[in-house]
Amino acid sequence: MIGDLAEGLLAAQDEAESQAAFEAFNRATGMGAVRDPYPIFDALRSKGPVAIVETGAFLGGGASEFEIPPGMDGDIYVALSHEAVSRVLRDAELFSSAGYAQSMGVVMGRTILEMDPPEHGRYRDLIQKAFTKKAVEVWERELIEPVVSGLIDRFAARGQADLVRELTFPFPVAVIAGMMGLPVEDFPIFHRLAIELISVTRDFDGARRASRGLEAIFARVLAERRSSPRDDLVSVLAHAELDGTRLTDDEIFAFLRLLAPAGAETTYRSSSNLLFGLLSNPGQLAALRSDRSLVPRAIDEGLRWECPLLGILRRATRDTELCGVAIPEGALVSLNLGAANHDPDRYPAPHVFDLFRERKANMAFAFGPHRCLGMHLAKTETQVVLNAVLDRLPGLRLDPAAEGVHVSGMIFRAPAALPVLFEPV
């Protein structure tokens, strides 16, 4: 079943259109234009834990193609310290997620992204049935490991590769599409549509078309799984029940739209960032190679050091204050997860990648009621790809002839390429 599918999906990885759509999205979110935003965040935080920033300047960040979504004009209150971000995420009643209905909700449909408690908890509990520890263990064994292994097979004997283009970019979308039970022939268009969907602030009409295209793909699969369930995510969602309630087709479509870009590109960024951190610190890479018990620490440090998405949004439901700053009712509050993860009051030498630092929870997957639903799946994917790279690519190192290898971006962050050399096997 899943294992057989994993063997076949590798043929769908030459996705020129997906790559082009992704490169356009990356340019629009500052990749290449903004190499290191942390000095900017540090300067703002030095003046206080919450900054007031004009929306256009905040969302632009070197990405002139972005358009301001409806309801997001005016000033944004930016939480920059770990304490400020924590306070907002702990209080869903005072800082609402409902504002996402005006941006991502327009193209995704109504999802848990825009829900507040108690509605959020009810739907999250229902959807959580698809991400149990047992389910993730099955995905790891029968899907994630075969996908990663098959991709490495393509370049292991060559002695050189671009780990982004040949591994970290294609593997997460193959995994999430396989988990959904999509036909292999739909993988390339699924990937392109997932990218176009989250380009809503760059191309609203294109995002709407992508939303309809994804629904058409999902509808075919869901209709089959309603009557003939299989061992996949759509089947779990089609038949999950909580207190006598099942998800409607539209609710399932909305959740799958939400999951598509998260699975297609967020894991690509986090695994790429981690590999770059290790490759840039050969001593730590060597330590990890010799002591695999350090893998969980390395994953956590990679997420802290360069989280894939720098910020999320909330809206104040009434006049309040945050760390001494007055925030009016209805104000948009941005939670700068990257700045919180680089807060020197919590993480000494925060800009340094150090897998040996004291372990403290970070904000890469957010916190509180809206902590990322797929967090354990994402960590499992990263663990599999990291162990596979360590096992199968001896002598792994950055190609010394390559220039300009670095993480960049103002909203989403990742390296554009990871050219490496290793001993061919």
Q: What's the mean pLDDT when you consider all of the chain?
A: 87
Q: Averaged over 82-102, what is the pLDDT? A: 93
Strands 75-79 and 332-336: parallel
pLDDT at 198: 80
Domains, the chain, in order of start with CATH, read 2-100+139-180+262-393+406-417 (1.10.630.10)
> Alpha-carbon distance 310 to 300, whole Å?
16
pLDDT at 204: 84
Strands 397-398 and 407-408: unpaired
Distances (CA, A) of 265 to 37, 164, 231, 280: 21, 11, 24, 22
Burial (CB count within 10 angstroms: exposed 0-12, middle 13-18, buried 19+), residue 298: buried
Residue 170 half-sphere exposure toward CB, CA atoms < 13 A: 24
pLDDT at 68: 45
Where residue 4 falls among pLDDT bands split at 50, 70, 90? very low
What is residue 96's three-state secondary structure? strand
> Alpha-carbon distance 78 to 152, whole Å?
41
pLDDT at 57: 55
DSSP string, 340-402: HHT-TTTSSSTTS--TTSPP---STT--GGGS-TTHHHHHHHHHHHHHHHHHH-TT-EE-TT-
Residue type at 275 in one-letter notation = L
Q: Averaged over 112-117, what is the pLDDT? A: 90
pLDDT at residue 14 is higher than 50: no
Query: Percent of the chain beyond pLDDT 90?
Result: 62
User: Residue 196 is encoded by which pair of tokens?
Assistant: 């176009």
pLDDT at 303: 97
> Alpha-carbon distance 409 to 63, whole Å?
9
Where residue 25 falls among pLDDT bands split at 50, 70, 90? low
pLDDT at residue 398 is higher than 60: yes
Q: What is the per-residue pLDDT across 312-357, written as a single tens digit (0 to 9) for each?
A: 999 999 999 999 999 999 999 999 999 999 999 999 999 999 999 9
Which helix (H) or strand (E) covers residue 260, if one does?
helix 249-261
Going by C-alpha positions, the residue among 280, 334, 335 that lies closest to residue 305 is 280
CB 410 within 8 A of CB 29: yes
Residue 349 backbone dihedrals phi, psi, to 5 degrees: 45, 60
pLDDT at 5: 46
Interhelix angle for 187-197 vs 204-227, to 10°? 130
> What number of other Cβ atoms are within 10 A of residue 245's Cβ?
11
CB 412 within 8 A of CB 308: yes
Q: What is the per-residue pLDDT across 233-270, written as a single tens digit (0 to 9) for each?
A: 999 899 887 778 788 899 999 999 998 887 767 899 99
Q: Averaged over 64-87, what is the pLDDT? A: 74
Which helix (H) or strand (E) covers residue 21, if one does?
helix 16-28
In degrees, to the nearest 5, what angle opens at C-alpha 232 toward C-alphas 229 and 236? Answer: 65
- What pTM value is reported for the model? 0.89
CB 193 within 8 A of CB 260: yes
CB 321 within 8 A of CB 327: yes
